[in-house]
């Protein structure tokens, strides 16, 4: 590796093409930083005849992954093919061949990250995946390197650009959920099947990865409580705005006293909260450290060049480790045991919209239930709903435990005066008075 580092690329879609374009256009800077030329030697593709968005010779393309995994001259493998099981198989083979690996595959890392880390450590290889969480935002490196001396207590943020785009359009242009989703799909922000994004699964995978690195504890994907945005209505957005709140899909992870609270949930944020101003497809992550206090990472959460930039930054780190002889020494280790925080210790404010019978005594029945579960009300809005003697009550509670709020919901559903609990969401911060 005296004068050249050879790269094998698994996949040549939008992100893979971006990686090649950055490597080609930044050769002078890479040589200055690394003292060596970076060469993309082989690229695995599914179709040799397909038109490419990268300037690459046909002789570099291959249909056979073994041309990369068994080539002794290839030092680093970059996985941008997607999928889980096949990608995992190829990465494990790369480690067995003592090749370092960079991946942008959040699904794979969220599910099999600990196993892949163990394989990398066993073979003294590096395994980096900055691009798996927030595109071009250096959040993982910020946590593992920039805040390495601090004890991180909480991570909170918007980590899915698709849902943020949809919620921005609903809030600012009064679009329905379906119309905003359709526009996101037309612009390429949402997939034809948007389930992973809109139901919170994509964000949950990212939060599992963030939780592991931030807290040095074995966070599993199944630990993340998840709810998406597909049931949010324009009516909820409007009522939230009346109270001084903006709806966002928020990933949240807290680790105190070795008790983990981690979730991805639609949340009403106070309009004064910095995350409430993050719009469209952008991502932002707050990290709360014991010493540093609050830090915020903001930027594009997806896209060819932002994601490719994160991958090439990982590549620079891997090559520097090779040249320094410290490869495989930055593997993630879990220093703390984990216990999920019980519902009795998880506290939040809540927004709730309830459809009730419009008759005397109903509000007193509701008030008694709130009192029974020690839930006090911060804001109340009541209005007649229609001519069928129904009314709608919208409330914002003060802080209460998830256990008490869940029990309250069960009792309300059984109350004869309640027609329907239309919606309920977590609330962060103080809205307008």
User: Do residues 128 and 314 touch, judged by C-beta distance below 8 A?
Assistant: yes
Question: What's the half-sphere exposure (Cβ side, CA atoms, 13 Å) at 341?
Answer: 21
CA angle in degrees (0–180, nearest 5) for 366-373-227:
90
Buried/exposed code over 111-148 (b: 16+ C-beta within 10 A; e: otherwise): bbbeebbebbbebebbbbbbbbbbbbbbbbbbbbebbe
Q: Is 338 labeled as catalytic in the residue annotation?
A: no
Given the residues 88, 206, 248, 338, select the one marked as catalytic. Answer: 206
Q: Which H or E element spans position 308?
A: helix 304-324
**What single string gives the DSSP state of each residue in 367-402?**
HHHHHHTT--EEEEEEEEEETTTEEEEEEEE-SEEH
DSSP string, 240-279: HHHHTEEEEEEEEEEEETTEEEEEEEEEEEETTSGGGG--
Q: What value does the CA radius of gyration of the chain take, rounded to a whole number of Å?
A: 25
Instruction: Please list the alpha-helical segments (H only) found in 80-200.
Output: 85-96, 106-122, 131-134, 139-141, 161-173, 177-186, 195-198
3 state DSSP class of 46? coil
Q: Nearest CA to 287 among 141, 417, 401?
A: 141
For residues 98, 330, 18 and 110, what is the CA-based torsion angle, rounded to 10 degrees?
90
Residues marked as catalytic: 206
């Amino acid at each position: 590796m005296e004068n050249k580092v050879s790269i094998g690329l698994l996949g040549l879609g939008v992100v893979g093409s971006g990686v090649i374009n950055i490597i080609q256009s930044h050769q002078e800077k890479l040589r200055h930083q690394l003292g060596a030329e970076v060469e993309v030697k082989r690229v695995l593709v599914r179709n040799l005849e397909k038109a490419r968005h990268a300037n690459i010779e046909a002789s570099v393309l291959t249909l056979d992954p073994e041309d990369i995994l068994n080539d002794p001259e290839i030092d680093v493998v970059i996985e941008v093919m997607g999928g889980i099981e096949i990608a995992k198989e190829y990465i494990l083979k790369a480690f067995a061949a003592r090749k370092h690996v960079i991946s942008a595959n959040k699904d794979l890392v969220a599910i099999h990250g600990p196993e892949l880390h163990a394989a990398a450590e066993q073979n003294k290889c590096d395994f980096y995946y900055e691009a798996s969480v927030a595109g071009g935002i250096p959040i993982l490196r910020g946590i593992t390197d920039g805040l390495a001396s601090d004890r991180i207590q909480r991570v909170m943020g918007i980590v899915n650009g698709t849902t943020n785009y949809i919620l921005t359009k609903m809030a600012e242009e009064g679009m329905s959920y379906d119309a905003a989703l359709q526009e996101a799909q037309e612009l390429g922000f949402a997939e034809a099947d948007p389930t992973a994004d809109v139901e919170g699964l994509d964000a949950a995978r990212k939060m599992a990865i963030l939780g592991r690195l931030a807290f040095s504890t074995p966070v599993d994907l199944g630990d993340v409580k998840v709810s998406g945005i597909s049931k949010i209505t324009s009516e909820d957005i409007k009522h939230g705005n009346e109270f001084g709140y903006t709806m966002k899909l928020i990933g949240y992870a807290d680790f105190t006293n070795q008790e983990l609270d981690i979730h991805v949930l639609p949340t009403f944020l106070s309009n004064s909260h910095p995350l409430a101003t993050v719009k469209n497809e952008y991502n932002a992550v707050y990290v709360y450290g014991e010493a540093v206090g609050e830090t915020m990472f903001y930027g594009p959460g997806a896209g060819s060049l932002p994601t490719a930039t994160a991958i090439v930054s990982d590549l620079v780190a891997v090559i520097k480790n090779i040249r320094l002889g410290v490869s495989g020494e930055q593997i993630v280790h879990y220093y703390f045991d984990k216990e999920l925080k019980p519902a009795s210790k998880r506290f939040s404010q809540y927004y709730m919209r309830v459809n009730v019978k419009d008759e005397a005594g109903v509000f007193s029945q509701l008030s008694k239930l709130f009192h029974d579960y020690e839930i006090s009300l911060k804001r109340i809005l009541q209005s007649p709903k229609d001519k069928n003697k129904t009314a709608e009550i919208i409330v914002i509670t003060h802080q209460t435990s998830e256990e008490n709020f869940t029990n309250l919901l069960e009792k309300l559903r059984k109350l004869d005066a309640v027609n329907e609990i239309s919606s309920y969401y977590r609330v962060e911060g103080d809205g307008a008075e």
